[in-house]
Amino acid sequence: MLTSKPETEPCCEPSGGCSHAKSTETLVSPETLSLNRRNFMKHSAIVAGAAAAAACSSEDLEKFTQRRLRELSQPELKALLIRLEADYKKKFGKDVDVRATPAAEGVKFGYALDLSRCIGCRRCVHACVGENNQSRPNPEGKHNNPIQWIKVLEMEKEKGIDLSDANPYYNPEEVPREGHFYMPVQCQQCENPPCVKVCPVQATWKEPDGIVVIDYEWCIGCRYCMVACPYGARRFNWAEPHLPVDQLNTNTHVLGNRPRPRGVVEKCTFCIQRTRAGRYPACVEICPVGARKFGNMLDPKSEIRAVLESKRVFILKEDLNTQPKFFYFFGI
Amino acid sequence: MAAAESPKTDLSPTTRHPSRFDSLLRALMVAPLAVALVGSCQSTPAGKAAIDSPDPVHSGPVHLPPPQLGLPPDPVHGQKEEVKGFAVPKPPLSADFWPCSQCHDPDDKVNRTRRELKDEHTNIHLHHDEANRWCLDCHDATNRDFLHLASGVTITFDESYRLCGQCHGTQYRDWKSGIHGKRTGMWNGDKQYLLCVHCHNPHSPHFKPLKPLTPPARPETIR
């Protein structure tokens, strides 16, 4: 460091009157050949940049320079949706409908789950996977990273709700098992979401209708949100998601169930592609015991309001002030 | 003097040569991104290969039955307003037995004595307050295609929820407000209700156990 001459020294300037100035004109001068770290990095960066530009099409550059979804104007958003649809067509060979339906006015989604009805059959878990294009099990493949957004916990009636003693891997012949009850846990769609607070790139936020969503284009996969979430509701794509074409749900939302890339976090969005179109979430519709209730909390005639007004509901980890919009109750 | 100055300035290079660190930083930032870009351009074939193998576990997207409209009004309970607009499907009646009048002739003499049936309907085992009830407490003896309430009012099988609601008042109340039972369709529009008898066998109403679907993968199997 001390012996090398900095470039900014006057004697090395071409305009300078010293003897060095002449030698710089020839290509074989020792100055230009000297491979110091700065020159190396500079040149390698240029070479790498040029190689990247040469290897990638304008589409890839577009992807690389993609801005965050919330900042996009309507035409830009439309262009993004078209690009995503083209990408999926290329990848899956199927027409995938990617929508960006915005939140409706005067809607705040709420969810209630009747713990006295739930029998732990996991129909909701698998309906959710089918609806939301999660990564499927792939035991023989190179990568096996099955993702489920709902986790059903089995607990003992004698002990009550004890999350530290819950078993999500139960697999008896028949459920419900004697002396046990079941508690499905998924994203609680907090009004005060800790996951949103910790995101260093603001790739996750709460929508006006209360759904906490993720911008998959902008998520850097740091998984801070997973650490911050007290409900363990977020999942990470450790590997390239395994999604067979015949199991692809082509009705998608840009903030919800569109196929995700590797390295991003995902979570329950109350089936945003369905609920923003007025339909019930998949888990509500599949539940064989009708334990799951969903609706607009601002509509006095909705069933979620009926639950909130007539049942003693509770929320999970109330002391953390996350203010979930997912309520549990005992209907009997 | 000059010799004394140069080591000092070299120890704090940022002040003297900001360009060196700028370019170094820039290069460090650009190089991995460029490598990642090249990588992303080439990663698609591997992804394509991965999605070819089938997955036996998945059950497929949820398919809804087409909604059926038309719920008869309930003059007794005045619930016309409450459930207006909700569709109730037809009760799950087997064509082998329905209509009941194909065997039960209205002119037949009815044996109203409470007894265990030995000749017909032997497959029906009543596990529904069987100590106190039997067939004709719900089924109408004079017209077998109807049910009757405790008051004697006859109702169709489509309205069986009124019969159930006589004893199970809290469930009936919750069902009408959407808490008990299941609603499908639109959360802000047309909904489809299920009748009590779609989930509960009226002769043995306790919900039957189910085989649970596959449990989640343990973290150690993820790769």
Alpha carbon A270 to chain centroid, angstroms: 13
- How many CB pairs below 8 A link A and B? 225
Q: What percent of chain B has pLDDT over 70?
A: 61
The answer to the question of residue A8 being in a domain is no
Strands A212-214 and A235-236: what pairing? unpaired
The predicted structure's pLDDT at residue A200: 97
Name the closest residue on chain B to residue A146, using Cα atoms: B217
Average pLDDT for A74-83: 95
Nearest CB to B211; choose among A56, A131, A173: A173
| CA–CA distance, B128 with B124 (Å, rounded to integer) | 11
The predicted structure's pLDDT at residue B87: 66
The answer to the question of residue A69 being in a domain is no
B10 and A2 within 8 Å at the Cβ level: the answer is yes
The answer to the question of residue A126 being in a domain is yes
Q: How far is B88 from chain A (nearest CA, A)?
A: 15
The answer to the question of residue A34 being in a domain is no
Name the closest residue on chain B to residue A283, using Cα atoms: B62
Strands A251-253 and A97-99: what pairing? parallel
When scoring B63, B213, B221 by the number of chain A Cβ atoms within 10 A, the one with the most, hence best to mutate, is B213
When scoring B58, B192, B199 by the number of chain A Cβ atoms within 10 A, the one with the most, hence best to mutate, is B58
Residue type, A13: E
pLDDT digits (tens, 9 = 90+) for A248-264: 999 999 999 999 999 99
Q: How far is B120 from chain A (nearest CA, A)?
A: 32
The predicted structure's pLDDT at residue B167: 95
Considering only CB atoms, which chain B residues are within 8 Å of A284?
182-184
pLDDT digits (tens, 9 = 90+) for A229-252: 999 999 999 999 999 999 999 999
B30 and A288 within 8 Å at the Cβ level: the answer is no
The answer to the question of residue A37 being in a domain is no
Considering only CB atoms, which chain A residues are within 8 Å of B177?
303, 306, 310
Q: Are B10 and A4 in contact (CB under 8 A)?
A: no
Q: What's the predicted TM-score (pTM) here?
A: 0.75
Q: Is B218 exposed, middle or buried (0-12, 13-18, 19+ CB in 10 A)?
A: exposed
- DSSP secondary structure, B45-69, as one string: HHHHHHT-S--SS---S--PPPP--
Q: How far is A304 from chain B (nearest CA, A)?
A: 8
Q: How far is B163 from chain A (nearest CA, A)?
A: 20
pLDDT digits (tens, 9 = 90+) for B108-146: 888 888 888 888 888 888 999 999 999 999 999 988 899
B188 and A278 within 8 Å at the Cβ level: the answer is yes
Residue A251's domain comprises 109-329
Residue B28 pLDDT > 90, yes or no?
no
| CA–CA distance, A17 with A10 (Å, rounded to integer) | 9
Residue type, B80: K
Other beta carbons less than 10 A from residue A282's beta carbon:
25
Strand partners for A312:
none
The answer to the question of residue A130 being in a domain is yes
Considering only CB atoms, which chain B residues are within 8 Å of A57?
41
Q: How far is B213 from chain A (nearest CA, A)?
A: 5
Helix pair B169-177, B160-167: axis angle to 10 deg = 130
Nearest CB to A169; choose among B42, B186, B218: B218
A280 and B189 within 8 Å at the Cβ level: the answer is no
Average pLDDT for B146-174: 93
Query: Residue A298 maps to which CATH number?
Result: 3.30.70.20
B181 and A290 within 8 Å at the Cβ level: the answer is yes
Higher pLDDT, A224 or B3: A224
The predicted structure's pLDDT at residue A293: 96
Residue A5 pLDDT > 60, yes or no?
no
Name the closest residue on chain A to residue B64, using Cα atoms: A285
B199 and A290 within 8 Å at the Cβ level: the answer is yes
Q: Which of A126-130, A194-198, B3-7, B159-163 has the lowest mean pLDDT?
A: B3-7
Name the closest residue on chain B to residue A62, using Cα atoms: B37
The answer to the question of residue A207 being in a domain is yes
What domain count does chain A have?
1
A245 and B217 within 8 Å at the Cβ level: the answer is no
Considering only CB atoms, which chain A residues are within 8 Å of B190?
none
Q: What is each CA distance from A66 to A218, A254, A284, A310, in whole angstroms? A: 8, 14, 35, 48
Residue A59 pLDDT > 80, yes or no?
no
DSSP A163: G
The predicted structure's pLDDT at residue A65: 82
Nearest CB to A130; choose among B23, B53, B60: B60
Name the closest residue on chain A to residue B180, using Cα atoms: A290
Q: How far is A198 from chain B (nearest CA, A)?
A: 24
Residue B80 pLDDT > 70, yes or no?
no
Name the closest residue on chain A to residue B3, using Cα atoms: A2
Residue A129 pLDDT > 80, yes or no?
yes
The answer to the question of residue A90 being in a domain is no
Nearest CB to A45; choose among B27, B51, B61: B27
Q: How far is B191 from chain A (nearest CA, A)?
A: 9
